[in-house]
């Protein structure tokens, strides 16, 4: 009964409740230690986090607090030193590199601060890359890459090289590349960090739209204004989750 009351209260305050949705991400007591010149660097010190399908979670914390490490481990780019990581209920913390790659290719899209596009490769070929790794035929690759580039408003920039695109356009290519495998989860690590405020807003609008279409979104940012687009903001300090807040949508 207490729960019912709580979620009614949330609805009154304009907070969307995801209590009923299944967990897509669960980190339990995740520790990550990097060995550096014989010294152990603790990047995460027992971080726990749960994210439900359809949520948009913002992650905020100072530089060096472990945000990118958290994203890499959640995104199956790296394994924890200790602790468990569940993606769609499957414990991925002890999978080998090939198994991790399969989870990534099947479920997860990444967007990075620095876009990470191949410079001498056209927009459409950059977007096709994940499909090439997945063994999709050339014709099908073109078709799907074109579709997602159109979806991010770049249907007229298919053959442009990254150097011929603005920062905001390059990040939209990176979003299209993240989308081309139809991920259920997008991880965005400071996606607006290298953009002017207008391009940053465009990129945020696209990410929010994708979340509105059902893709779970976890987004790291330094920028409070950007974080407030999320349903919930999680704060991290010195490798620990120190608190979270729900964002009211009353003002929208
Ligand atoms: N590959 C690595 N090797 C050694 N130390 C690392 C490595 N990656 C990150 N660290 C250290 O781990 C801590 C957390 O880093 P990071 O997750 O990148 O933080 P953030 O993204 O919040 O700036 C920092 O002290 C950083 O120097
Ligand atoms: Mg970082």
Q: Is residue 251 part of a domain?
A: no
pLDDT, tens digit (0-9, with 9 covering 90-100), for 19-44: 889 999 999 999 999 999 999 999 99
Kindly report the CATH number assigned to the domain that includes residue 34: 3.40.50.300
Q: Is residue 44 part of a domain?
A: yes
pLDDT, tens digit (0-9, with 9 covering 90-100), for 166-195: 999 999 999 999 999 999 999 999 999 999
Q: Is residue 225 part of a domain?
A: yes
Check pocket membership of 64 for ligand 1, CB cut-off 6 A. Answer: yes
Q: What is the DSSP string of 17-48?
A: --TTSPEEEEEEEEEEEEEETTEEEEEEEEEE
The domain in which residue 187 lies consists of 2-246
Index of the ligand 1 atom closest to the CA of residue 35:
4
Q: Is residue 202 part of a domain?
A: yes
Query: Of all protein residues, whose CA lies closest to atom 3 belonging to ligand 1?
Result: 34
The domain tally of the chain equals: 1
Q: Is residue 48 part of a domain?
A: yes
Q: Which of 62, 67, 69, 70 to mutate to test the pocket of ligand 1 (most atoms within 8 A of CB)?
A: 69
Bigger pLDDT: 201 vs 19: 201
Q: How far apart are CA 22 and CA 3, in angstroms?
A: 17
Question: What is the percent of the chain with per-residue pLDDT over 90, rounded to a whole number?
Answer: 88
Please list the helix, strand and coil fractions of the chain in percent, rounded to the nearest 5, in that order. Answer: 35, 25, 35
Cα 118–chain centre separation: 20
Query: Of all protein residues, whose CA lies closest to atom 17 belonging to ligand 1?
Result: 66
Beta strands in the chain (DSSP E): 23-36, 39-52, 56-60, 82-87, 90-91, 108-112, 185-189, 216-220, 232-237, 240-246
Q: How far apart are CA 100 and CA 46, in angstroms?
A: 21
Q: How confident is the model at residue 136 (pLDDT cuts 50, 70, 90)?
A: very high
Nearest ligand by distance to the CA of 66: 1
């Amino acid at each position: 009964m207490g729960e019912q009351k709580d979620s009614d209260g949330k609805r009154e305050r304009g907070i969307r409740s995801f209590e009923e949705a299944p967990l897509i991400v669960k980190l339990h007591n995740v520790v990550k230690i990097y060995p550096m010149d014989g010294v152990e660097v603790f990047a995460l010190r027992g971080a726990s986090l749960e994210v439900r399908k359809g949520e948009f979670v913002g992650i905020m914390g100072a530089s060096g607090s472990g945000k990118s490490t958290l994203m890499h481990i959640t995104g199956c780019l790296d394994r924890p030193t200790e602790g468990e990581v569940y993606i769609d209920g499957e414990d991925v913390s002890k999978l080998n590199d090939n198994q991790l790659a399969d989870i990534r290719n099947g479920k997860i899209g990444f967007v990075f601060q620095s876009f990470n596009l191949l410079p001498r490769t056209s927009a459409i070929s950059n977007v096709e890359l994940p499909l090439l790794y997945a063994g999709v035929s050339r014709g099908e690759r073109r078709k799907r890459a074109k579709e997602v580039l159109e979806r991010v408003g770049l249907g007229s920039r298919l053959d442009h090289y990254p150097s011929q695109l603005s920062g905001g356009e390059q990040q939209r290519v990176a979003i299209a590349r993240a989308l081309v495998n139809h991920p259920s989860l997008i991880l965005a690590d400071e996606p607006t960090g290298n953009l002017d405020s207008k391009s940053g807003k465009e990129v945020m609008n696209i990410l929010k739209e994708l979340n509105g279409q059902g893709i779970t979104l976890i987004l790291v940012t330094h920028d409070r204004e950007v974080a407030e687009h999320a349903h919930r903001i999680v704060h991290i300090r010195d490798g620990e989750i120190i608190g979270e807040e729900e964002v009211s949508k009353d003002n929208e």
